[in-house]
Structure formats: C-alpha cells, structure tokens
Amino acid sequence: MSKIHGGNIFQFAHEQRIEPYEVVDFSANINPLGPSQRGLDALNAQLRYISHYPDATNDDVLNAIADTYGMDKHQIIVGNGAAELLYAICRLPGYTGAFVPAPGFSEYKEALEASKIPVRDIFYRPREDDNEKPYFEVPYLALETFAAELKGQDGRIIVFLGNPNNPDGTLLDKDHIRTVASMLKDANSLLVIDESFIDFVGNDPLQDNEHSMRSLVNEFDNIIVVHSFTKFYAVPGLRIGAAFGNEKLISQLHQYIPSWSVNTLAQAYTKAALNDVDYIKRTKQELNEERAFMYNALDDIEGITVYPPSANFILFQVNQKGITANYINEELKKYNMIVRNCDSYVGLTNHWVRIAIKDHDTNIKLVDKLTDILKV
C-alpha cells in the first residue's frame, strides 16, 4: 500500500537514476501550465528580503485573497499549506469524534489522530446514473442521521468533506450541505469543507464559482472552508493555503498557527498570482479542453471504468484480471512516468488509479501507453 499522497518525483528520480525534471508526474494534481510568471517575478523581487522575517500579519496576501474571492479579510486565515490548517482545526477544543469521507484525503484522518480525536469513515458508494455513467454517492442521509442523534448529547463532532472530493472528484450539493450544516449546528458540531481543488472546477471567475461552498460561512458559524493555492497556482514547494470561516472561528484558529508560518516568497508569489487574470483565464480554458479530451480518450480504452472528472484529475478502476495499479506504474516507469496508485484510500484497492491532467502532448503520451498496457 502506498503511504504517500503522490508527487514524490525526487524519490522516483533517485530510484530511476534520472534528474527530477525528467519525471513525467501524473500522480500530483498540479496546474499543467506551471507557475504564474507574474507570481515568479514578484517572488524574485522579494528575494532581497529573505534575510528578514516575513510579515507576520500576512496583510497583503489576506487583502489579495479577500478581493479575489469576495470575502472579508477577517474571515480568512492563511497557513503553511492547507495541511497546516487542517491540523490547526483538529486542535480546536471540545471535539470528541469525527467523520471523514472514504475514499478521501488521508490527511484528515492523520490530523484528527494527531489530536487524539476518534475517527469514523463515512463511505461514498460507487453508483451508476440513468445514463450508466459511474459516480460516487455522497452519504447525506447518513450524515443527517448522525447529526440528529448527536442533538442534546454531550459529544461534539467534526465532519470533513471534500469539494471536489479527492480522488474521485465528487462535488457537493449546496442545499444538502445547508441541511447538514444546520443539523450539525444544532448538535454544536463543526463542518469542514476542503476546497483545495475548487478553482479548477467550471469556467466561471474564481469569485463566482457556483460549486464553491465558501459563501456558506456567511450563513453558518460552524462551517470552515479550507483552500489551497499551491495546486491551482502550481507551487506546492512554496506551501500556502487559507481557511474561510466566521470571525470567531478564525480568531480561535490563530491560536494554533505559529507566527511567520507563511514565508516571504510564498506571500509575494500568491499576492501577485491571484491578480494574474490572464493566467487564471488561460488555466481554466486549457484545463476544460484537456479534461474533456482525457475523459473521452480514457473512456475509449477497454477494461477500465472512468469516472467523469470535475477538476484537474481523473479516477478510473481497472477491471482486467491480473492488471493492477502497481503493474501499470511498473510499465510506465520505462517511460519515466508515474500515476497515483489509490490503494491507500479507504474503500479503494490497487485496481484504482488517479491521474492528473497535464498539457495536451503529455496527455496523449499517457493515453497511448495506457492503451498498450491495457490491451486485452
């Protein structure tokens, strides 16, 4: 079972005796355009200040986030990647249990266990719609039932949900989430929605993304929406993320984020990249085209079930006897390619594979290799 999230090009390069830049990494879901040039220029200009401490207030980057997403800056906190914020949320006092999606991002469970909060999986079930297209069903009814049972009890829980969920790309329904959030509020409990990949969804401007649950923090004081900037803006090595919530929750979270958590270069890059309108528009346009191309190309391959994507990654299940994700990765190694073996996700096995969507030429190469590997 793979224990890492994907994207360890350095380990792969070492094993293959190649340079990291030679790795074709389909295992990490990063913007295929690479970093914003406007952001890189700002980062380079800020290098002269790395002998000084970062701005502990994060004021400039908070203003940029507030403007980009149409939120009040006092509803926002930034951290050293979304993961640091997940761990901070789990340190909030008084919570006696939690639910996490299965399959789902493993860091939810890791963060909860680090705070000694008991965790239960809540399973997304594979289904088919009326057109025989596969999807994962969000267990709203089960969540509502758990919340109803908690009302009047001493226990308080945290519910984590992904929007879109990783690795399957399932999007949440806002009306259902309102119901769940309301019932959790009655039970003095918290709903955390991870929107690390939400900026890849749809083609609307970032502020107007109809699929985001961010606006619900204005309606509910028990919702936190976590956001990553390193995926859409292609800088996971810099580490910066944000959380949106009501001012009281954000104030509580500040107690668990160290001073100078976000470094000077991450601050400068993010502020500039958020204002790089052309880069954002080009990312949306090219990703929409490549997402459609990759889904259709993979769906034509015999022996796999491909789940319709919503963001910048696609999940498929291998149905051929004797073919596993491990086998696929071993074959792809010959071409210095990696895909994500999903056997570390609860509820999935090594017959499930997630791939990131990259540029067109690179996507074609992967489709060709997968077609050869999966030939019946």
Which residue range is the domain that position 122 belongs to?
Answer: 37-275
| Weakest-pLDDT range from 99-113, 138-152, 225-239, 286-300 | 138-152
Any domain includes 3: no
Instruction: Tell me which of 275, 305, 329 is where a domain ends.
Output: 275
Of 121, 137, 186, nearest in space to 307 by CA: 137
Indicate if 62 and 171 belong to the same structural domain.
yes
Domain CATH number, residue 322 = 3.90.1150.10
Q: What is the pLDDT of residue 246?
A: 96
Judge if 22 and 118 occupy the same domain.
no
Split into its structural domains, the chain has a count of 2
pTM, two decimals, is: 0.95
Domain identity same for 270 and 291: no
Q: Is 4 part of a structural domain of the chain?
A: no
368 within domain boundaries: yes
Is 50 exceeded by the pLDDT of residue 52? yes
- Let me know whether 84 and 196 are in one domain: yes
At 29, is the pLDDT very low, low, confident or very high (cuts 50, 70, 90)? Answer: very high
Q: What does residue 128 show for φ and ψ, rounded to 5 degrees? A: -125, 140
Domain boundary among 275, 304, 326: 275
| pLDDT reported for residue 374 | 93
pLDDT value of position 153:
81
Does a structural domain hold residue 182?
yes
Q: Do 174 and 143 form a contact (C-beta atoms < 8 A)?
A: no
- Same domain for 208 and 284: no
Q: Alpha helix locations (H) across the chain?
A: 9-16, 37-46, 59-69, 82-90, 106-114, 140-150, 174-186, 247-254, 264-274, 277-299, 325-333, 360-373
2 is a domain residue: no
Same domain (yes/no): 213, 290: no
129 within some domain: yes
| Residue 176 maps to a domain | yes
Q: What pLDDT is attached to residue 12?
A: 85
Q: What is the pLDDT of residues 62-102, one digit of tens each?
A: 999 999 999 999 999 999 999 999 999 999 999 999 999 99
Taken as a whole, the chain contains a residue count of: 376
In a domain, 135, yes or no: yes
Please, are residues 196 and 241 in contact by the beta-carbon 8 Å criterion? Answer: yes
Residue 7: predicted pLDDT: 63
Q: Are 228 and 78 in contact (CB under 8 A)?
A: no
Looking at the structure, tell me whether residues 115 and 236 fall in a common domain: yes
| 28 half-sphere exposure, CB direction, 13 A CA radius | 22
179 and 117 in a common domain: yes
In this predicted model, what pLDDT tens digit does every residue of 98-127 receive, in sequence order?
999 999 999 999 999 999 999 999 999 999
Q: What is the DSSP string of 230-266?
A: TTTTT-TTT--EEEE--HHHHHHHHTTS-TT-S-HHH
Residue 233 sits in the same domain as residue 342: no
* pLDDT number for residue 155: 84
Give the pLDDT score at 48.
97
Q: 265 and 333: one domain? A: no
Is residue 170 domain-shared with residue 93, that is, in the same domain?
yes
CATH number of the domain residue 68 falls in: 3.40.640.10
Domain check: are 17 and 48 in the same one?
no
Domain end: 245, 275, 305, which one?
Answer: 275
